[in-house]
Amino acid sequence: MNFMKKNLRGILLCLIIAIPSWLLGKLFPVIGGAVISILVGMIIAMFWNDKGKAESGIKWTSKVILQTAVVLLGFGMNLAVIFQIGKQSLPIIICTITTSLVIAWILQKVLKVPSNTSILVGVGSSICGGSAIAATAPVIEADDNEVAQSIAVIFFFNVLAAIFFPILGKAIGFDTVHGNAFGIFAGTAINDTSSVTAAASTWDSMWNLGSETLNQAVTVKLTRTLAIIPITLGLSLIRAKRSSNEGRKTSKFSFKRAFPMFILYFVIAAIITTVCVHMGVSDQVFKPLKELSKFLIIMAMAAIGLNSNVIQLIKTGGKPIAVGASCWCGITIVSLIMQHVMNIW
């Protein structure tokens, strides 16, 4: 009862935005319901500063509903296929993460960007956006302003990717019969799960691929998300060494904090599907869950749009945006090059 009292208004608002966005997405598949939903949320946020009692529900929707949508995608996916996709995309993931971190480190030196901000933007760009920033911030002892600034930068390029990557994919000639190439591209070149799912859903809508691209992109993205653990551990060890030299204590690495549990639930859902199909159950049984997942993604996009602050992003200054833009472009180019080298595209 307390949960409903605290969150109901925000959840209902996201639902109200999601329903027409979902319907409009059916009418205009080139844009897609997820993009429409996030843009509507952003426009509302520009004129609605004090969300009052709706704020808690909006934040809950942007996090829990999105993670629930990803878990539901696990139903209907074969575990062997998941491992195959992860294995195929691993070289691209390693190269894109390395590219982003190196670019962030170089620009931190060249542009004199604050160290914590550069690290957070680099990690957020290379791994999984806000989740990576949230896991990394306590380890490097980043303050609230540095975290807010980094998330604002990452969010800006998330929205651009969700809108323009399907257009880019069509322009450069990605396969429109299967979702493999664009799915790997979205999963490796877009930093946040929300925008990965938005772009992949749009591509599926554009070419009537069901959820083929979405399945591919989410699997690649979740494989990439696991990099939070070694990256956060490495930063923790570096910070601990520096603090020891300076004679002070610092935050320790936390596996529980670094590991996104929804990945585990996604794998469990896939295991359930694999076992059921092996026992003779039709995979069509899981189709309603996948359709529900698509709608929940649109609902989560509404919440993320409502949480945005375009004005605050403009006020953060040009240097963090320059770091984010450079990381984003570097990741995109490397992802495309690697796909071409590996004959995926």
Note the pLDDT tens digit of each residue in 277-304: 888 888 788 888 878 988 998 898 888 8
pLDDT in tens, 258-268: 566 777 787 88
User: Is residue 272 a part of any domain in this protein?
Assistant: yes
Q: Which residue has the higher pLDDT, 264 or 337?
A: 337
User: Is residue 6 a part of any domain in this protein?
Assistant: no
User: Is residue 17 a part of any domain in this protein?
Assistant: no
Average pLDDT score over the chain = 83
Task: Please tell me whether residue 286 adopts helix, strand or coil conformation.
Answer: helix
User: Is residue 62 a part of any domain in this protein?
Assistant: no
Structural domains in the chain (count): 1
- Tell me what the mean pLDDT of segment 36-61 comes to: 87
pLDDT at site 255: 59
Residue 57 has pLDDT above 70, yes or no: yes
Q: Which residue has the higher pLDDT, 36 or 242?
A: 36
User: Is residue 178 a part of any domain in this protein?
Assistant: yes
In terms of C-beta density within 10 A (0-12 exposed, 13-18 middle, 19 or more buried), how is residue 215 classed? buried
Residue 308 has pLDDT above 70, yes or no: yes
Please answer whether residues 96 and 128 qualify as being in contact, where contact means their C-beta atoms are separated by less than 8 angstroms. no
Q: Which residue has the higher pLDDT, 66 or 196?
A: 196
Residue 249 has pLDDT above 60, yes or no: no
CA distances from 249 to 238, 239, 241, 257 (A): 13, 9, 10, 19
pLDDT at site 31: 66
Which residues neighbour 107 within 8 Å (Cβ) at sequence distance 6 or greater?
A: 113, 118, 322, 323, 326
User: Is residue 59 a part of any domain in this protein?
Assistant: no
User: Is residue 273 a part of any domain in this protein?
Assistant: yes
Confidence of residue 127 (pLDDT cuts 50, 70, 90): confident
Per-residue b or e along 77-88, where b marks 16 or more CB atoms closer than 10 Å to that residue's CB: bbbeebeebbeb
Distance CA 84, CA 112 (A): 42
Instruction: Supply the range of the domain harboring residue 323.
Output: 73-298+310-341
- Tell me what the mean pLDDT of segment 12-28 comes to: 90
Alpha-carbon torsion angle 187, 193, 197, 198, nearest 10: -110
In percent, the amount of the chain with pLDDT more than 70 equals 88
Q: How many CB atoms lie within 10 A of CB 246?
A: 8
User: Is residue 217 a part of any domain in this protein?
Assistant: yes
